[in-house]
Structure 1
């Protein structure tokens, strides 16, 4: 046990934890983007509201969510520890900065991570916290004729403060009553400052993943002449380009097209 503890207290151990939590967070980004693409469905928020309700009421997903929160905190904490340790190891800056083959993103991971952590706090307090723990998010009632596919949507006010959601069927009409996080998202994305914050955060995420994804594989020792170019390609084009653009497109589209 002491050797195990000593290993994970070492710089190598901390980098391994950073790599594992980072790759887990990368996996979450894929799932999160796939779910958030429901925002583009032209169905009065039905798909996105049902998706959000599923995430917060399906026990296995809730367990994974808490693992996610822990991973974010651990990743941020170990990043701070490693950054401070590296600065202590070189307390005096060079009189003239030597030329370095490392990229700008790799030299500024601490700054990039700090911006992302601040964004996550703001983002979760605006959506996740208000959705789960306040009454500032209203409800929608969706009535769908299962024979024709026609759907109507109205605001719904539950009689009981404990009400969270319901799914019923009456006379071939499916009735779904869920929290209306879609309206909260549309409201936030109608504010220019929030759109700018979101886009800047996604730009930051791009640079963070540009180095972080590839670095995680190196920290785990998964380096191979044949497979490393594939990892670099995925890290560059998928994680550093496609995913940030996908997220950034949401507030932009809502602000300019649905405002």
Structure 2
């Protein structure tokens, strides 16, 4: 059985890895903002490279394991905190804490639900479905993405999920610096600001992608 501190450290490390993955995923998905013809071929070639590279496959297994461990550790820690903390209204610490820190469990649940939908719509269909091929013979993931992003309800879910992810990241990155012992008066404000900027840029960028496709493809 892992101690609470060990679980927090594991959640911290998996969270930082997932945050770094978000940056890589974000940079790759920026190709969706290219002109449609160029975006289709370039995005599909990029996806084909990722799916066929053995090193990337190994990293993907680490990614899947990190998502599961991060979610499980978050659930266990949240349940333990509820038992030991009691009612926030009777605890002065609750007044000083941020909304996101008090609702990390809810934010994490929303993100997990989104991930299930996201994986089912894209990853599962790309891996196990029969998507058409583009002119270069690669699976046409771009057309699949555009088709999904044409649905207004999915765009709304996506944007709301990115708002939840932004709050989750802001608190998570800040909390991770403390868990790793980087909480020093000289650097704490810098880490906090950097975490906020990173979270807002990444999540706003992701949120703009379905919005851009929705208004340009419809």
Q: How high is the TM-score relative to the length of structure 2?
A: 0.94
Aligned residues: CA RMSD:
1.5
1:74-153 correspondence to structure 2 within 5 Å: 74-90=69-85, 93=87, 98=92, 100-135=95-130, 137-141=131-135
Which is higher, the Rg of structure 1 or of structure 2? 1
1:132-211 correspondence to structure 2 within 5 Å: 132-135=127-130, 137-141=131-135, 176-211=136-171
Instruction: Give runs of ≥4 in structure 1 deviating > 4 Å.
Output: 94-99
Shift of 1:225: 2.3
CA distance in 1, matches of 2:173, 2:132: 38
CA distance in 2, matches of 1:210, 1:108: 12
Change (3 A) 1:256 1:13: same
Alignment length (residue pairs)? 215
Q: Which residue is 2:215 aligned to?
A: 256
The structure richer in strand per residue is: 1
Change (3 A) 1:203 1:216: same
Q: 1:88-115 deviations in whole A, cap 9, x for unaligned?
A: 224x536767551110000000000000
Contact 2:44–2:138 (CA<8 Å) still a contact in 1? yes
Structure 2: segments with no counterpart, 5+ residues: none
CA distance in 2, matches of 1:29, 1:44: 20
Q: How high is the TM-score relative to the length of structure 1?
A: 0.80
Change (3 A) 1:52 1:81: same
Change (3 A) 1:47 1:87: same
Secondary structure (helix, strand or coil) at the match of 1:178 reads coil
The structure richer in helix per residue is: 2
Structure 1: segments with no counterpart, 5+ residues: 1-5, 142-175
CA distance in 1, matches of 2:190, 2:72: 30
Change (3 A) 1:94 1:225: closer
Contact 2:31–2:39 (CA<8 Å) still a contact in 1? no
